[in-house]
Amino acid sequence: MKILIKNVRIFDPASGIDEEGDVFIKNGIVSKKKEETRNIIEGKGLYLFPAFIDIHTHIREPGGEDIENFESASKAAVAGGYSTIFMMPNTEPPIDNDGMVRFVVKRARDVGLVKIYPVGAATIGRRGERLTDMRAMIECGCIGFSDDGSPVKNPRILRRILEYLKGTGIKFIEHPEDTELSSDGSMNEGSLSNKLGVPGIPWVSEASVVIRDILIAEYLSSPIHFAHISTEASLDLIQFGRKRGVKITFEVTPHHLLLDEDNVKITDSNFKMNPPLRSKRDRKALIKALKKGFVNAIATDHAPHPLYKKELEFSLAPFGVIGLETAFSTLYTEFVRKGVIGLNELIEYMSVKPAGIFDLKTGMVRDGAPADFVLIDLKKKWKITEDKFHSLSRNSPFLGWDVYGRVVYTIVDGKVVYKEGD
């Protein structure tokens, strides 16, 4: 298939390109040499970016197909401008064996909209007791390993995981939470949780696991990746580890960058997530780290839940919010348009840097590269409402927000997989 995208603003941080021009695609690859084709996309007024990469997505299939399945998650991803998502392993049953990895790869191929890479469970059943057969799972297509949703509590087991993965090029992704400290908490522990009478989750529950893992990784000379970092203390500890030569990468989420505990509505569990929305000081520290280039990636931690569960009282409702369809627009509106960070930095955090962490051959617009692009109308204003979502779930903390930046086309491997309004 051949596609010519004409008169588009090409914006590629990896190649240093910011210019108006044409992009020609042949057989899924960018080509400098243009050929005749009737497949023409008029890009006047649109920006063309490397398509986004989400390294932290929860799909509920198997076990929760009515909450989010491969098809609905794929539609949500491409509507948000993503060409690639990493599927976390906390399904029912979990992705803890090579058969489950093959299932994920096949289902993703059957749907055929977005690249879905399985993240395998590091321990059987995600129970933190016995290692999975990681070699067999890697051979079947695992991009990484994690017990996400649960930390690896036993440091001896963590050591074995890091030792096994050392030298494979495959990373362990830690969910940094001491569940003994977070216990029955529902929101950030502090004066507000005390005032509301809601059990809290202290910052130390995250930071204590971060420092433990850093020291074990240093001892083994192994790399480690931390999911959804949310506290100033964790950032300080990561800086400490990097100064000691530990290869640490980590992600932050749009909701932790854009919201804090003061936004929590005790009557609305769409503001309940794990880790919880933290203090203003923590949020400011995350933004500062983003501005300094200290952060490695922005990941959505897209965690769908059905309405009947999210309508439970705050303490009983499940943790998690969706984010694939709102990540770019909310961050562009609040950060780029307001001068907090540049457009260049936002695209790096959502595409270029995630690709670099996991050695993906994408995240760029250059001759010979895979044609994974998103075309966005940055001037288009829209309101985030439930009827806009392609996800089967509606649990977003950004409902009602007026935002700028609407995805018009998403192209994956040279194929138009999303067109606005179609």
Residues catalogued as catalytic? 301
Compute the distance between CA of residue 364 and CA of residue 14 in angstroms, rounded to an integer. Answer: 6
**Beta strands per DSSP E along 178-271:** 187-188, 200-201, 224-226, 248-252
Q: Are 31 and 367 a contacting pair, CB within 8 Å?
A: yes
- How many CB atoms within 10 Å of residue 343? 18
Q: Are 106 and 75 a contacting pair, CB within 8 Å?
A: no
Closest residue by Cα to residue 62 from 93, 98, 87: 93
Q: Is 382 left (phi over 0), alpha (psi -120 to 50) or beta?
A: beta
Q: Which contiguous run of DSSP H or E holds residue 343?
A: helix 343-347
Six-digit token pair at 368?
Answer: 């010979």
What is the gyration radius of the CA atoms in the chain, in angstroms? 21
CB-based burial of residue 160 (10 Å sphere; 0-12 exposed, 13-18 middle, 19+ buried)? middle
DSSP state, 274?
A: S
Give me the sign of the Cα torsion angle 249, 277, 117, 165.
Answer: positive
Compute the distance between CA of residue 304 and CA of residue 323 in angstroms, rounded to an integer. Answer: 9
